[in-house]
């Protein structure tokens, strides 16, 4: 049985607020693996990296704390890192673990710092506890994947000095994919990158992305996502999909290596 390229799936936090979405996603993974076993193939390794920006926002609002972002990244002062870690590595990660368990998946809940899989360093004083992520040591994740685990990784990292850092989950997923030399798909609450008429753009290179960002057709979190996907496509030497986590019928296609949503191209 040949070794298969790991697939890194990034889930936006909105999936946690979308009724039935996690159940459908995990059942799709379970069905895909059962099908592979029936066909006497080895299970394709899958890793989930998740966000939870909306979970953090809800908690901040309950605590009457303001939300501030710079270029799509949450300003995370020292006084708020406990809240962010609790929401992402705690609540969001364990909700996902619970849903994976209900689908009988052998999941394991992690953060970027486990096994030094992803290394992080502070970006700027202005952003506070926000980290830039780079690929680290693949050994730990490869060990888990070789034993058939489904790692579910939050976007919380730990610096060399032991500081906890909040990492944008798209950037975290890119670093995990680089660490494992895997394929990457960024799953959000939209069918992919949309043009000015809200029509899906099937393929996108750097030139088109720059044009649409400049024209403010691509805005907010999608700017970070598009830039992260193009960076990953270049580094991994393979296209990266931006697609919907609601595209349940298309997920088996994605799992078996076909494209869905918008394909971000390596144009270097």
Ligand X SMILES: CC(=O)N[C@@H](CCC(=O)OP(=O)(O)O)C(=O)O
Ligand Y SMILES: Nc1ncnc2c1ncn2[C@@H]1O[C@H](COP(=O)(O)OP(=O)(O)O)[C@@H](O)[C@H]1O
Enumerate the active-site residues: 10, 13, 53, 170, 225
| Residue 219 near which of ligand X, ligand Y, none (CB within 5-8 Å, type-dependent) | ligand Y
Is 74 annotated as belonging to a binding site? Answer: yes
Least Å from the CB of residue 221 to ligand Y: 2
Asked if 169 interacts with ligand X (CB under 6 A), we say yes
Out of 6, 22, 47, 51, the only residue in the binding site for ligand Y (CB under 6 A) is 51
Is 53 annotated as belonging to a binding site? Answer: yes
Alpha-carbon Rg for the chain in angstroms:
18
Out of 32, 46, 74, 264, the only residue in the binding site for ligand X (CB under 6 A) is 74
Report the phi/psi class of residue 147: left, alpha or beta, with left for phi > 0 and alpha for psi in -120 to 50: alpha
Out of 51, 138, 151, 239, the only residue in the binding site for ligand X (CB under 6 A) is 51
Which residues ranging from 184 to 203 are in contact with ligand Y (CB under 6 A)? Answer: 188-190, 193-194
Nearer to ligand X, 13 or 261 (CB): 13
**DSSP-derived 3-state class of residue 251:** helix
Contact 175, 135 (CB under 8 A): yes
For 70, the token pair is: 């710079």
Asked if 217 interacts with ligand Y (CB under 6 A), we say yes
CA distances from 237 to 18, 201, 240 (A): 33, 21, 9
Is 27 annotated as belonging to a binding site? Answer: no
Q: Which residue is nearest to ligand X (CB)?
A: 51
Which residues ranging from 108 to 167 are in contact with ligand Y (CB under 6 A)? Answer: none
Rounded Cα distance between 203 and 126, Å, is 35
For 73, the token pair is: 């990244």
Torsion of CA 224, 230, 232, 236, to 10 degrees: 180
**Buried residues in 191-202 as b, exposed as e (16+ CB within 10 A):** bbbbeeeeeebe
Rounded Cα distance between 109 and 116, Å, is 15
Asked if 9 interacts with ligand X (CB under 6 A), we say no
Asked if 220 interacts with ligand Y (CB under 6 A), we say yes
Is 161 annotated as belonging to a binding site? Answer: no
Q: Which residues touch 219 (CB under 8 Å, ≥6 apart)? A: none
Q: Which residues are annotated as a binding site for substrate?
A: 52-53, 74, 166
Q: Which residues are annotated as a binding site?
A: 52-53, 74, 166
Tell me which residues touch ligand X (CB under 6 A). Answer: 12-13, 51-53, 56, 73-74, 84, 88, 130, 155, 166-169, 221
């Amino acid at each position: 049985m040949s070794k298969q390229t790991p697939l890194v799936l990034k889930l936006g936090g909105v999936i946690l607020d979308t009724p039935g979405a996690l159940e459908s996603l995990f059942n799709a993974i379970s069905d895909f693996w059962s099908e592979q076993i029936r066909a006497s193939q080895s299970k394709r390794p899958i890793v989930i990296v998740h966000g939870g920006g909306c979970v953090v926002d809800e908690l901040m609002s309950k605590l009457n704390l303001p939300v501030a972002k710079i270029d799509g990244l949450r300003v995370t002062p020292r006084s708020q890192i406990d809240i962010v870690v609790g929401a992402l590595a705690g609540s969001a990660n364990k909700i996902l673990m619970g849903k994976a368990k209900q689908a009988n998946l052998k999941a394991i809940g992690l953060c970027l710092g486990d096994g030094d899989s992803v290394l992080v360093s502070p970006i700027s004083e202005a952003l506070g506890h926000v980290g830039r992520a780079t690929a680290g040591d693949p050994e730990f994740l490869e060990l888990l994947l070789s034993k058939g685990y489904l790692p579910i990784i939050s976007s919380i990292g730990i610096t060399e000095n032991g500081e906890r850092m909040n990492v944008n989950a798209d950037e975290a997923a890119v670093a995990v994919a680089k660490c494992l030399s895997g394929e990457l798909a960024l799953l959000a609450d939209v069918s992919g990158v949309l043009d000015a008429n809200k029509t899906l753009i099937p393929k996108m290179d750097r030139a088109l992305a720059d044009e649409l960002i400049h024209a403010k057709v691509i805005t907010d979190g999608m700017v970070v996502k598009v830039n992260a996907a193009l960076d990953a496509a270049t580094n991994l030497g393979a296209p990266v999909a931006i697609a919907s986590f609601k595209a349940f019928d298309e997920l088996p296609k994605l799992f078996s290596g076909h494209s869905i949503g918008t394909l971000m191209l390596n144009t270097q």
